[in-house]
Amino acid sequence: MKRIIILCTWYIVTLSFLTACQKQPTPREQLLNRLTDLQQRGCMFGHQDDPFYGIGWAYEEGRSDVLETCGDWPAVMGFDLGGIEMSDDKNLDSVPFDCIRDEIIRHYQRGGIVTISWHPRNPLTALDHPNTWPEGSAWEATDGAVAAILADGPTHELFLEWLRRVRSFLLTLRTEDGKPVPFIFRPWHENNGAWFWWGDTHCTPDEYKALYTMTQDYISSVYSVLSISVVWSYSPNLDGAMDEEKFLQWYPGDDRIDLIGLDAYQWGTEEDFVRQTTADLDFLCTFAAEHHKLVALTECGFRSIPDPTWWHRVLLPIIKSYSGAVLQCNGPTAERSNSPKGGLSYALVWRNAEGGEHFGPVPDTDNGREFMQFYHDPQILFLKDITNP
């Protein structure tokens, strides 16, 4: 009898050990591990809507302003789902959702990293103003919209339908052989600004956190493959004076967030941009390291890049101060703190739309030529750097 018990115990222990060894990391774990490894090597360059349009062209397969400037794809590509909640065929920037799906899968298959944002229309006004701007849009920043869509709110059912549409689209992000494409999802961004209906002047911290949690729980419910393929990002806007108390008020929580981002544009003077961005990154990189989170410039740029040397004179030194091996990260004010800092995972510049709304390099222009100095820095990673280590 004793021998049987010993044998059974041995069998069970061995079996559990083998099962544990064989357990494959999920796509989400694989992406997190990859991001963590890459973060030690440098900061990836990202571009919003990269393969859809650029300056002087639109929807020509295989084209990209970044590729045509420097000969490589951005390591990270950003895509936006705004409009999917209305069952529109195209997103708020007129990109067909079918193209978005195809390019997400294509970028994943070429070894790139995908991040997805969402600018949903205003749930209180969108039905009356389905196609206008700013009426009915994410920028119609009415008070009370967040409260209205939470559980028991008058617009909760409508919002669940919106989430269902988002989830249905995300569930189609699979390769031909059925493998889910992992991606970084970044809903409810720039919430410390007043310009979106989910901004901090239009809801309370508890309402905001309930919104984030509800979105996450709906999309990643346990029976959904999205629970094993989504990396979750929280990305407030540039503040210039972030601190732990302020940050924690709105932060959805360590159990909810994998990657902390900062959306940082230069709208005013260069001096202000550098000062505010370094102050916020000082805080965020320290917080991220202490909380074991990734950190990124989830959006950044200088609209229409009036000074093309900005790439290597302004953006590059900021990124270099906050990227590379975690403990080597030395922000300008790092001497004030002994805390380890997390290095930037990526910096994504916004889309290259016509009419002055471009943030990326443009080939055969001074902007594109100056970008090369940024491109050649070994600490800035493009697709070839992350696929041929």
Cβ nearer to ligand BMA, comparing 112 with 301: 301
Instruction: Quote the distance between the C-alpha of residue 50 and its chain's center.
Output: 15
Distance of closest approach, residue 351 Cβ to ligand BMA, in angstroms? 6
Contact 129, 92 (CB under 8 A): no
Cβ nearer to ligand BMA, comparing 320 with 351: 351
Please state whether beta strands 76-80 and 113-117 pair in parallel, antiparallel, or not at all (unpaired): parallel
DSSP structure string for 21-35: HHPPPPHHHHHHHHH
Cβ nearer to ligand BMA, comparing 90 with 156: 90
Binding site for ligand BMA (CB under 6 A): 80, 92-93, 119, 350-351, 357
Determine the Cα–Cα distance for residues 48 and 100; give it in Å rounded to an integer.
11
Query: Looking at the DSSP assignment, which residues form a beta bridge with residue 264?
Result: 300
Determine the Cα–Cα distance for residues 218 and 366; give it in Å rounded to an integer.
46
Least Cα distance to 216 among 207, 206, 226 occurs for 226
Distance of closest approach, residue 165 Cβ to ligand BMA, in angstroms? 18
Distance of closest approach, residue 251 Cβ to ligand BMA, in angstroms? 23
Query: Looking at the DSSP assignment, which residues form a beta bridge with residue 346?
Result: 44
Distance of closest approach, residue 68 Cβ to ligand BMA, in angstroms? 21
Which of 246-260 are b and which e, b meaning 16 or more Cβ less than 10 Å from the residue's Cβ?
ebeebbbeeeebbbb
Cβ nearer to ligand BMA, comparing 206 with 357: 357
In this structure, is the dihedral angle defined by the CA atoms of residues 72, 105, 234 and 23, taken in order, positive or negative? negative
Cβ nearer to ligand BMA, comparing 102 with 357: 357
* Percent helix, strand and coil across the chain, each to the nearest 5: 40, 15, 45
Cβ nearer to ligand BMA, comparing 341 with 351: 351
Side-chain-side CA neighbours of residue 128 (13 Å):
6
Contact 86, 59 (CB under 8 A): no
Cβ nearer to ligand BMA, comparing 169 with 377: 169
**Plot region of 49 (φ>0 → left; ψ -120 to 50 → alpha; else → beta):** left
Distance of closest approach, residue 14 Cβ to ligand BMA, in angstroms? 54
Cβ nearer to ligand BMA, comparing 357 with 366: 357
Cβ nearer to ligand BMA, comparing 354 with 366: 354
Cβ nearer to ligand BMA, comparing 197 with 375: 197
Distance of closest approach, residue 359 Cβ to ligand BMA, in angstroms? 8
| Omega before residue 134 within 30° of 0, cis | yes
Instruction: Quote the distance between the C-alpha of residue 22 and its chain's center.
Output: 31
Distance of closest approach, residue 50 Cβ to ligand BMA, in angstroms? 13
First-residue to last-residue Cα distance in the chain: 56
Distance of closest approach, residue 126 Cβ to ligand BMA, in angstroms? 15
Distance of closest approach, residue 80 Cβ to ligand BMA, in angstroms? 5
DSSP classification of residue 343: P
Distance of closest approach, residue 290 Cβ to ligand BMA, in angstroms? 31
Determine the Cα–Cα distance for residues 158 and 149; give it in Å rounded to an integer.
8
